[in-house]
Chain A
Amino acid sequence: MSPDQHPPARAASTFTRRGFLAGAGALGSGLALAACGAPTGSSPTTISFYLSKPEVIPYFHRLISTYHSEQDKVRVVLDSSSNVPADFVRNRPPDLGCWNYNFAVAEFVNHGALSDLRDTPQARSINPALWPLMRQTADYPGRISAIPYSVMAEGVIYNRDIFARHGVSVPTTWSELVGVCERLTAAGVTPFFNTYADTWTIAQGMFDYTIGGMVDVAAFFGGLKQEGTHVGPSSATSFSRDLAAPMARMVQLAQYSNKDAASRHYGDGNTAFAQGKAAMYLQGPWALGQIALTSPHLNLGMFPLPVTENPSDLKVRVNVDLALWIPEASPRKAAARDFMAWLMQPRINDTYNNDNDGFGSRIDAPAPTNPALAGLRKYYSGGDFYLGPSQLIPASIPVANYAQAIVLGSSPASQLALLDADWSRYAIRVA
């Protein structure tokens, strides 16, 4: 992990670059310390396990005690509170990470701070359709830096009882969707409950769903990367050009929203939807548990948002909710791999996904049994999915705020032009 082995930094911020140079400098002393801490004889190796999803901490506590009862070579300490970038800076990263695979982890992947897991049987067991998604988020050439553990599939959550009461069925084309909305509105039912006060809910929902349903997300971002610093009104690929049609759909969708959307937060949305105040809700499966806090027995279903007139265009938005990785700097890679292999066993991995409404990442993983997710199964197993575009735009570009401006009445063209300008500036910074 010396600096000269790094490829030209692609998305480096000064923060991590400095951190890694410093980390490389201290590698020698780090290894020396590691040698001191190496296990002697039969005493167990203690590894630290960082989990980025606070909701499942109790769940993983139970998993870890099961793991401890099944073997005595490795002891796992669960950590959800450390600052992982700081751990990398002082060259003492967690031995095994279990993170939401997004921009937060991209820097570590792009700089080669995570070890190659290509030779593990777990890497070979992964559904091949997921690798392009993993590479889209972050990639270090020639390596498998992380192994997907759980995938979340997102779409429109709908209240089956409200749909049945008003005689509407799940739409598969844009005009059917508009028809459903008109019919519900005429019957005095709010079609969509939106929560504009939390900008991420717009980016994750309307913004991503309309784009993903109309545009080939991977090709679009590939085109943007090629344009580099020239993204703008005259380039072959640009936000203004390619996203104008989806944004027009988004503006149209926003008309079928609850009147108080501008002041509603995510938590309000869960409560209101659970109370049957709207027929549809643009959220992922994480909201199902929150809705169940208020109404545990609501009859819910999910479907991908139709944005075109062709039912075969239907796709679901996915994100790699948890991925496992082992840092290069970890002196206990073997023990970390042992725990990773244990976690990836079908009996553990599938149970986790089923209990937490996630889709499996292995080729042979069964779909989750929650009936609410049934409507998404065939799209996930058929590979009809895309990564949320808002997750592929660097965090330094406030895309969620731009999406909020559009749904609150700003012209899409001006916000997309802003995105173009931001993207080219970002490309200049990281070039």
Chain B
Amino acid sequence: MTTTSFDAASLGARPITGSGRRRRARRPGSANWPLTIVLAVCALTVIVPIYVTVSMAFKTTRQAVNGNAFELPAPFSLSGFEQAWRLTDFPRSFALSVFVAVVAVSGTVVLSAWAAYAISHNWQRRFFRWSFFYLLAAMFLPFPVVALPQVKLTGMVHLDNPIGVAILHVMFQLSFSVMLFTAFLRSIPGELEESARMDGATTWQVFWKLIFPLLAPMSATVGIFAFLASWNDYMMPSLITSNPQLQTLPVLQQIFQTQFSNNYNVSFASYLMAMAPSIVVYLFTQRWVMAGVTQGAIK
């Protein structure tokens, strides 16, 4: 949803300056009202659920089930947070989720940058071209299709733990990330690398000193996608992790959703605690996310 509203903003921003120059100049302070209204409605679709999440989290169970989701919490209660903290063993499950996400993000960025660098520089060779298509083909392979063999395999090699989950996250993120990096690398002129070579840089040095810093905006994009996929994943950790004490946060949160009972305040308090890192990460990095997406898309 955020992506849509952001796109609309950037699309809408261009005609204003463009038409301003050609036709009647729009005064800088005047607003584009139709667009503002559309954007406000779009923003509501994000703000309303967040408002409900936040207000539910601070309600008592009794108020949470009374059917008025939009009410302000009265009395203001922290019991939801307290229960959610206890039931999910929050510090441990949070630390495990962070661990899985960090491994998944760093693994995805480094591995796919390496792969994309190798592929884009050897595009004329059949082996590299085909390995690119091979990696892309994995995009058409969703996890549920290979879930059972993965469960079996990770069990056999003793990777039925968060490390195995992180490795699988890297693997499933690889194809999309390699595609983004490869597209981005094509926009970097080859002369840059030639000049570095003339100064005597090895391939390793060229990559780490020249290419990888240039890839930074795209690395941010890839990293954010990898983070969100890993942080929000439910199915893979639930199937792969065999020790319940090593389980990640989204899986433990399923205990709040049952057919027969509604503890909205506890569930929403727990969701809020789990959402916080994603929101914080996005707030600080959204500029790079959007820049990275558009940079990868051109040419």
A residues within 8 Å of B by Cβ? Answer: 15, 18-19, 22, 26, 29, 48, 54-55, 57-58, 77-83, 86-87, 89-92, 200, 266-268, 270-272, 286-287, 289-290, 293-294
Contact = CB atoms under 8 A, between A and B. Distances in A.
Contacts of B30: none
B131 interface: no
Given A81-B244, A81-B254, A294 B65 contact: yes
B239 A86 contact: yes
Q: Interface on chain A toward B: helix, strand, loop, or mixed SS?
A: helix
Contacts of B87: 57-58
B67 to A, nearest CB: 5
Given A15-B148, A57-B255, A286 B261 contact: yes
Given A48-B244, A55-B260, A81-B254, A89 B66 contact: no
A79 B246 CA distance: 11
In order of increasing CB-CB distance, the 8 nearest A-B pairs are A90-B155, A79-B244, A54-B255, A286-B260, A86-B239, A267-B262, A86-B151, A83-B238
Interface in B252-299: 252, 254-256, 258-262
B156 interface: yes
B62 interface: yes
Q: Interface on chain B toward A: helix, strand, loop, or mixed SS?
A: helix
Contacts of A271: 65-67
Given A57-B87, A82-B242, A90-B152, 13 more contacts: A82-B238, A82-B244, A82-B247, A86-B239, A86-B242, A89-B151, A89-B152, A267-B262, A270-B262, A289-B261, A290-B261, A290-B262, A294-B65
A81 B252 contact: yes
B17 interface: no
**Interface residue tally of chain B, by bracket?**
20 to 34
18 contacts: A15-B148, A26-B155, A26-B156, A29-B156, A54-B254, A77-B244, A78-B244, A80-B255, A82-B238, A82-B241, A83-B239, A86-B240, A90-B152, A90-B155, A267-B67, A270-B262, A289-B261, A293-B65
A19 B148 contact: yes
Interface centre among A83, A92, A267, A272, by most B CB within 10 Å?
A83
A67 to B, nearest CB: 18
B167 interface: no
Contacts of A57: 87, 255
A18 B148 contact: yes
Contacts of B61: 293
Contacts of A81: 238, 244, 247, 251-252, 254-255
B258 A267 contact: no
Nearest to A198: B259
B242 A77 contact: no
Nearest to A268: B67
B155 A92 contact: yes
Contacts of A92: 155, 160, 242
Contact of B148 (A89, A91, A286): A89
A429 to B, nearest CB: 19
A101 to B, nearest CB: 16
B264 to A, nearest CB: 8
B245 interface: yes
Given A18-B148, A57-B87, A286-B261, A91 B244 contact: no
A196 to B, nearest CB: 15
